[in-house]
Amino acid sequence: MAVANDKIAAAFAHSLPGEDQETWLRHELGDYTGPMRLLLTVAVSIDWRGRDGNLADQACDLALGDAIKRSDGESTLVVCRIDLQNGPSERMARRNGFHPLTDGPDEFDPDMRQWYVMADPDDD
């Protein structure tokens, strides 16, 4: 997967609690060398589904649309952290084109969540 080095947009389903996780994420992206911009934080979790099962999907769509819109037409990388203990959230992520990035070290993944990544469709 090609990763643009100029403008990178990130939308997190769960915000990063510490600098070490951000450092780890940047390392895992490999060929990424540009500045990362945190555009929008959304909670795609069982808490968001509640009475309205479509709310998580709407939040994800909003995050993706906002991230891509703010990238000024340049390649965009969107990263979400999905709760894999919540089947609906994982299915929502896959429906939106997210794919596993990595499990991550145990110290960064204490609650068994996993990072997903999706590139801008225009980025081949």
Q: How far apart, in whole angstroms, are the C-alpha atoms of residue 111 and residue 87?
A: 15
pTM score: 0.41
Structure tokens at 63: 């995050």
Q: What is the rounded distance in angstroms from the CA atom of residue 45 to the CA atom of residue 75?
A: 27
Tens digit of pLDDT at every position of the chain (124 positions): 333 333 333 333 334 444 455 554 554 444 443 333 332 233 333 344 444 555 555 555 665 665 555 555 555 556 655 555 666 666 666 776 666 655 444 444 444 455 555 544 444 4
Largest CA distance in the chain: 41
Boundaries of every domain in the chain: 8-119
